[in-house]
Amino acid sequence: MEQGVTNLNRFLLEQQREFPGATGGFTILIESIGFASKIISREVNKAGIVNIIGRAQSTNVHGEDQQKLDVYADKKMIQALDHLGKLCAMASEENDDLILIPSKYPKGKYLAAFDPLDGSSNIDVNISIGTIFGIYKRKDDKEGDGCCEDFYQPGRDMVAAGYILYGSSTMMVYSAGNGVHGFTLDPSVGEYILSHPNMQMPDRGKIYSMNEANYNLWDDATKKYLSYIKNDVDTKYTSRYIGSLVADFHRNLLKGGIFIYPEDKNNPDGKLRLLYECAPLAFIAEQAGGRAVNGKEDILDVVPTGLHQREPLAIGSKYEVDLYMKFKRGEL
C-alpha cells in the first residue's frame, strides 16, 4: 500500500488492536457495510444511464412509494450482513418486520438497523443521497434469533453508527465511540481512504436547515426560534436544505449549524425515524462535539418502543441546539 495512506480495513484493524478482548466481529460488520455501500454507490452513479430510476411499484411500511434504488440498496445491505455470523437480527426502513438471519447461518450478538437509501426523492434529480446505519449489541445472554425488543435500548448504548454519503464523491463517516472518522472512496482502486480523521463539528455555525414550507404547522417555540435566528444580525444565518438528511447533516457537521425536522400539526412525532435516522446521526453528532434533541430530551436518551418509531429531530452544533432547546422549554 502507498505509504501514508490508511484505508478502512487498516484503520479498523488498528482500532481493534486497541481493544485487547476484541474478536474482530465488529470490524467485519463495518467492513461489510463498506462493501455494500460500494455496490450501492456504483448503482447510484449509473442510475442515470441504466433503467433503474423510477418506482418499484410497491409501497413500504410508511405507505411511501419505494424507488427501485431503495429496494436494491436494502437487498445489498441485507446480503452483505446476513451471513457473517455476527448479527442476530436486522431492522430496515424498507421492511415492516424484523429481518431474521437465515437459518443456515450462525447468529451473533450484534443488531443492525439501517435506512438503506436516505433522501430517495432526490434520486431522479441527481442530488446527493445516503445510507444510515446503527449497530447495537443485544442486552441478554440469549443465543439465536434476536427480537424487536432487543432494539429497544437508548441510542447511547449503540456500539457504532455511521452513514455513507453518495455525493460528488462517496464518503463513509462512522464512529465506534472514540471519535468520528471519515473515509472517501477512491473509485480507481475501490477503497475507502481515511480523509477526515477525528472530525469535530464547529461549536457554532451559520447554517440552518428546515423545510420552511411546514412553517404554519409548527408550534410557537419553533416559529419563534426561526424568527430569532433570522433576526440575529451578528451571526447572519443562511438557509440550506437539500431534503436528504445525510447530505444536510454532513454539510452541517463540516461547516456548523443546525438541522431541524420538528413535530408539526400533521405529524405529532415528526417525520424521521428514531432507530435508523435520528439515533445514528445523534451518535455521530455527540461524538463530534455536537448535540441532537427531540425538543424535550437528548435523542440518545430516548428508548424506542417500535422499530419504525418517528421522532422530532434538532441536530447540529452545540450552541445552536442549546439555543433551540431554550425556546422549546419556554425560556426565550
117 vs 229, beta carbon nearer Mn ion? 117
Of 27, 32, 120, 294, the one binding ligand AHG by CB under 6 A: 120
Minimal distance, residue 237 CB to Mn ion, in Å = 25
154 vs 243, beta carbon nearer ligand AHG? 243
Pairing mode, strands 207-209 and 238-239: parallel
Give the x-and-dash track for 191-230 against ligand AHG (CB under 6 A).
Answer: --------------------x-------------------
Instruction: Name the residue with cell 495512506.
Output: 5
By CB under 5 A, what part of segment 101-120 binds Mn ion?
A: 115, 117-118
Is residue 264 close enough to count as binding Mn ion by CB under 5 A?
Answer: no
Q: Which of 94, 83, 107, 39 is nearest to 61 (CA)?
A: 94
Minimal distance, residue 70 CB to Mn ion, in Å = 6
Of 14-22, 113-121, 163-171, 295-303: span binding ligand AHG (CB under 6 A): 113-121
Q: CB–CB of 201/317 below 8 Å?
A: yes
Q: CB–CB of 147/108 below 8 Å?
A: no
Of 79-87, 118-126, 156-164, 315-323: span binding ligand AHG (CB under 6 A): 118-126
Distances (CA, A) of 136 to 95, 109, 153: 18, 9, 8
Minimal distance, residue 214 CB to ligand AHG, in Å = 7
The cell numbers describing 288, all together, are 463530534
Is residue 238 close enough to count as binding ligand AHG by CB under 6 A?
Answer: no
Q: Which of 221, 208, 212 is nearest to 295 (CA)?
A: 221
Task: Compute the CA torsion angle 229, 235, 240, 246 (nearest 10 deg).
Answer: -90
Residue 211 near which of ligand AHG, Mn ion, none (CB within 5-8 Å, type-dependent): ligand AHG
Task: Compute the CA torsion angle 308, 314, 315, 320 (nearest 10 deg).
Answer: -170
Minimal distance, residue 9 CB to Mn ion, in Å = 27
Is residue 119 close enough to count as binding ligand AHG by CB under 6 A?
Answer: yes
DSSP 96-165: SSPBPPPTTS---SEEEEEEEEE-GGGGGGT--EEEEEEEEE-SS---S---GGGG-S-GGG-SEEEEEE
Is residue 109 close enough to count as binding ligand AHG by CB under 6 A?
Answer: no
Q: To 10 degrees, what angle do helices 220-230 and 318-328 make?
A: 140
Minimal distance, residue 328 CB to ligand AHG, in Å = 20
Long-range contacts (CB closer than 8 Å, 24 or more residues apart) made by 194-198: 194/5, 194/6, 194/7, 194/8, 194/11, 195/171, 196/171
Q: How many residues bind Mn ion (CB under 5 A)?
A: 4
Is residue 312 close enough to count as binding ligand AHG by CB under 6 A?
Answer: no
Is residue 93 close enough to count as binding Mn ion by CB under 5 A?
Answer: yes
Q: Which of 161, 282, 264 is nearest to 216 (CA)?
A: 264
Of 12-20, 184-192, 237-245, 323-331: span binding ligand AHG (CB under 6 A): 237-245
Q: CB–CB of 327/219 below 8 Å?
A: no
Is residue 93 close enough to count as binding ligand AHG by CB under 6 A?
Answer: yes
Is residue 74 close enough to count as binding Mn ion by CB under 5 A?
Answer: no
Which residues lie near ligand AHG (CB under 6 A)? 93, 115, 118-120, 211, 243-245, 271
Which residues lie near Mn ion (CB under 5 A)? 93, 115, 117-118
